[in-house]
């Protein structure tokens, strides 16, 4: 009944729509009034707005699949199974030291560098690359808005995150 292109577009926005519905539910609770429903409704509005922001960024982060290979995020490890040319590999999130976005031959690639100096290149348009949003969000001091905005810029190389140095603590 619905065209496939329209259905795909609606599916892409479903999490944002659910967050909006949550915020509208909170607005309805606030409109009912009272000492209990107004604060509860305000809390639901804040929850819906925060969820909406994250959902919108996650939606912008995910790209249509038009690059070879498959990305897998499992047990704190990012894996990319590339098609030919020696592409692919694994890097554990705890060993990740740097994230860059490169533009090579007109295509964007995430460059993930591990503590051992090895790096893997992952196209943002590979199957499963949308899962990288949640994996990257778990990294310390990362700015997810900056990562999402970087995908819209066509710059040769963008350094987006480096692991912060561990602070030395003195013991008494």
Q: Per-domain residue ranges for the chain? A: 4-61, 70-162
CA distance 74 to 172: 40
pLDDT at position 85:
60
Q: Would you say 69 and 85 are in contact if contact means Cβ atoms under 8 Å apart?
A: no
CA distance 40 to 27: 10
How does pLDDT run across 72-113, given as a tens digit for each residue? 999 889 999 887 665 788 999 999 999 999 999 888 999 999
CA distance 22 to 19: 5
CA distance 56 to 12: 10
- Minimal CA–CA distance to 65: which of 83, 78, 47, 50? 83
CA distance 22 to 40: 12
> What distance, in Å, lies between the first and last C-alpha atoms of the chain?
71
The verdict on pTM exceeding 0.95 is: no
How does pLDDT run across 36-68, given as a tens digit for each residue? 999 999 999 999 999 999 898 888 877 777 778
């Amino acid at each position: 009944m619905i065209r496939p292109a329209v259905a795909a577009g609606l599916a892409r926005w479903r999490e944002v729509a659910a967050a909006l519905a949550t915020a509208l539910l909170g607005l309805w609770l606030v409109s009912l009034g009272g000492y209990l429903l107004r604060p509860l409704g305000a809390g639901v509005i804040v929850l819906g707005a925060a969820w909406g922001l994250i959902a919108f960024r996650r939606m912008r982060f995910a790209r249509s699949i038009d690059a070879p290979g498959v990305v897998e995020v499992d047990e704190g490890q990012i894996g990319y199974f590339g098609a030919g040319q020696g592409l692919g590999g694994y890097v554990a999130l705890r060993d990740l030291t740097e994230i860059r976005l490169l533009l090579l031959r007109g295509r964007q690639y995430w460059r993930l560098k591990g503590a051992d100096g090895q790096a893997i290149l992952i196209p943002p348009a590979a199957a499963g690359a949308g899962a990288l949003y949640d994996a990257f969000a778990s990294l310390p001091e990362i700015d997810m808005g900056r990562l999402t905005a970087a995908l819209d810029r066509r710059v040769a190389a963008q350094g987006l995150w480096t692991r912060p140095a561990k602070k030395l603590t003195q013991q008494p």
